[in-house]
Structure formats: C-alpha cells, structure tokens
Structure 1
Amino acid sequence: MSDLDQHLAHQLADVQQRIARAAQAAGRDPHTVMLLAVSKTFPADAVRAAHAAGQRAFGENYVQESLDKIDTLADLRASLEWHFIGPLQSNKTRPVAEHFDWVHSVDRLKIAQRLSEQRPDHLPPLNVCLQINVSGEASKSGVAIAEAAQIAQQIAALPKLKLRGLMSIPEPADDLAAQRAPHRALRELFERLRADGLALDTLSMGMSADLEAAVLEGATIVRVGTAIFGARDYSH
C-alpha cells in the first residue's frame, strides 16, 4: 500500500468515526448516513486511492475536470458513484446528464428540464436534489424556501429524473447550535414536502466543518472533501 493509500484510508476512517459518533448521539444508525468524498481539484490518483480504501461515492464541482477524471478511472466505473455538486450552467448540462449518477445542485427548473431532456435512454433515471438557499444569502445559489414546494413538484414530474431530496450550503458558523439551525430549516422543509406527497429520502447537507450538526439534524449524505483529501490548491 502506497503512502497516499495509507493516508487516505486513515482520513476516511476518521471521518466515518465522526459520522458514527454523531449518528449515535442522534439515536440514528450510522449506516443511514452516506459519506460523499468531495474530490474536486484532486487528481484521479487520489480517487483511486480512496476507492482502494473502500470509498465508492465521489463529488465533483467542475464539469471538464470531472469528465477527465471519469475517463481516467473508466476501469472502476462499475463500482464508482459520481455526484455533481457544483453550480451547473445550462450549457454544461449535457455531459453531466450523460456521465453522472447524481446532481445535488439543481437550483432552477430550467436546469432540471435540460437534464431530463439530455439523460440518455439507456441509463437509469438521474438522481437529483433541489438546492435550497437556507441562509437567504444573495450570493448563494438555490431556491428560496418559499418557492421550493412548487419547483419540487415540477421537477418530480419530469421524465428520466428522480427527485431524491434537498441540498444546501449554509453560511459557515462556529458553534454547534448556529450550525444546526440552517440544517434544521432544511429538514423541516423536507418533512413538509414529504407530507405533501413527494417521495423524498435524501438530505444532502454538512461538510468537513459541520458534519456533526448536519447528522444531528437528519443528513443522509454529508459532502466531505478537506477532512479526507486535505487543503485544496486552486492555483491551476
């Protein structure tokens, strides 16, 4: 086992232990929380090493970078699950519809419509989450909480997509109570949409710094990059 393999195996185990402790504190089965390893800006070799340590789901933010990685790792495709989690422009939807298993960052109906139209017939429905702007920040992508129910119903009706749930990227906060508040707001919205008849099962929330708060509030997917792969280098 290489140094990279050993390092990533150790980091993954640490994050899984954090998830397990938080789940147990919430009275939840740790297996109800999936770890999504956010591999954006890291090379295919890092994904391969994480895969060797047992990780299967990987999150990417940049279309071209992710397509190159998917191609490089084609030999592992049957055992990898690729999740697109970054902002998605309408002119970039086709390759995402063709190559990904999940899209977490659907922030408007037009994006969902294009993904639906461009999803190849031979592939299973594309799993999607509706991104919600829980903090109400003008600079953040996402649907306002007040508009979510209508847009969610419209997306759920589209062919070749499966609306799985909601995603958010709240403002960073330092203490646990402040971290939990926006995650709670997302969970409450999720529960309202389920009560309205939508068959949702996914809350994609929580990252390296706040995964405990997210798990305590019901996250089913946590998106963790830095705590697994280390600090990112955006210079390239």
Structure 2
Amino acid sequence: MQDFSQARNQVLQQIQHACDLAHRTDVAKLLAVSKTHDADTVRAMYDVGQRSFGENYLQEACHKIDELKDLEIQWHFIGHVQRNKTKLIAAHFSWVHGVDRLIIAQRLSEQRGHELPPLNICIQVNIDAQDSKDGCAPEDVIAMVEKIQQLPHIQLRGLMVIPAPNHTQAFFDAQALFKKVALAYPTLQSWDTLSMGMSGDLLPAIQAGSTLVRIGTALFGARDYSQDR
C-alpha cells in the first residue's frame, strides 16, 4: 500500500525548497489532483492532512464528492468547463480553474446556489498560444476581468495556465499578466491566485510566482485511464 504521508511530505518539501530558492516569504499551496483515483484513495490522502483536491472528470468527481461529504474537503474543478456542465459544477465545487469565456462565468453565477458561498474562479489563459490547449488569449484577460468581477455569486481569484513542456518563460509571462491585472484593478482584493505548475514543472512555476501547484502523479502515482469517464 502506498505511503501517502511520505508522498505528501516529499511534495511539500519540494514546494518549500522551490520557495526558498526563489527567496519567497510565502509558500505555494498544494492542490492534490485526484482524478481517476477512487474515494478511498482521496480519504487516505485526507487522513494525512490534505484538504484541497482537484478533479476534471465531472461525473466521477460528483460521485466522489457525494461519497466523501462527511469530510471537510475543498473541491476544485480544474478541467475545461463546457456549457452543459456548469450546473453540476456550480453545485458541487468551491473553485473552478477552467473558465475561459464570459458565458461560462455567467452561467456559473446564475446556477450557484444562493445558500452557498461565492464560487472561486480562475481565468484559464492559453499563455503560449498552443493549438491543443484551451484558454482565452492573454490580450483578452483584462476585458474578462472587468465583466466577471461584476457577477454575483462569483469571487474572481486569479489565473490558471498550463504552458507547453519546458517553456519556462511562459510562467513568467503569466506572472506579468497576473500583476498587470492587479495594477489595473487595485480594489479587486480577492485577486490572489496564480494557479500553475504540476509534478513535472513545479520548480520553475514556483520560481515564477505560482501560488498554487496542481500535483497528481507525485502524490498518488500513475493514473489509470482504462475506464471511460
């Protein structure tokens, strides 16, 4: 059986080391990406101290969320958000990292239950113009922020990027864009999250200012994609 405590501690040490190398006084947060891993595995990781988990297969995630509703988990939806999925996402998650169109933010706002706290949103940006990646263009971010911040039941938190492999400069471009928004909207106090970096590029992401890293393989091991989701 995998030692989740050891795996998590090793990742936390890597995060701390990266922050130290970058002379940062803050420490990037750890989001455990639990997609394709079952509820028992999530519970085991929760038992060793992890509280934030990321999913991007919606039906699978909803089953896990219902099964683990006795736990105080902060659930993040990190996949591309399609229009026909906004209702379930708005009802089940605390965070959404894949908003790249205004219509998606509007639907999430409309469908967020009034009894729930505001839904935390990160705008997904195609920071290095990859044909295979979702995300809005960097030059469209300011206009999106202007409109999304006015929506009820939404709390705009920051940006999410997935650069091409080994494209370290893209992390610094994302940081510059993040700061540009902060300067343009100094009253947007919730603007505090730069979601970037995964198991293979944690170090350069943190050196470029990531405040939240999305880690799956280094925590849980290889994923099983054998079943359709």
TM interval, short-chain normalised:
over 0.9
Match of 1:207 among 198, 202, 225: 198
- Which residue is 1:231 aligned to? 222
1: distance between equivalents of 2:25 and 2:84? 40
Match of 2:54 among 52, 56, 59: 59
Q: Which runs of 4+ in 1 moved over 6 A?
A: none
**Superposition map of 1:1-236 within 5 A:** 3-4=1-2, 7-29=3-25, 32-76=27-71, 79-173=72-166, 178-179=167-168, 181-197=169-185, 198-199=188-189, 200-236=191-227
How many residues end up aligned between the 2 structures? Answer: 224
- Cα RMSD (Å): 0.9
- Letter of the 1:202 counterpart: T
Structure 1 residue 233, shift from structure 2 partner: 1.1
Q: Secondary structure at the match of 1:146?
A: helix
Q: Secondary structure at the match of 2:224?
A: coil
Report Cα offsets for 1:32-70 as digits up to 9, x if no partner.
311000000000111101000100000000110000000
Structure 1 residue 29, shift from structure 2 partner: 3.0
Q: Secondary structure at the match of 2:177?
A: helix
1: distance between equivalents of 2:198 and 2:46? 20
- Letter of the 1:165 counterpart: G
Structure 1 residue 27, shift from structure 2 partner: 1.2
Structure 1 residue 208, shift from structure 2 partner: 0.2
TM-score normalised over the length of structure 1: 0.93
- Letter of the 1:12 counterpart: R
Report Cα offsets for 1:85-107 as digits up to 9, x if no partner.
00111011001101100001101
TM-score normalised over the length of structure 2: 0.96
Q: Secondary structure at the match of 1:37?
A: strand
2: distance between equivalents of 1:146 and 1:93? 25
Q: Secondary structure at the match of 1:159?
A: coil
2: distance between equivalents of 1:59 and 1:80? 10
Any gaps of 5 or more consecutive residues in structure 1? Answer: none
Report Cα offsets for 1:122-155 as digits up to 9, x if no partner.
0110000000001101221001011111011111
Greater share of helix residues, 1 or 2? 1
2: distance between equivalents of 1:9 and 1:87? 30
Any gaps of 5 or more consecutive residues in structure 2? Answer: none
Q: Secondary structure at the match of 1:234?
A: coil
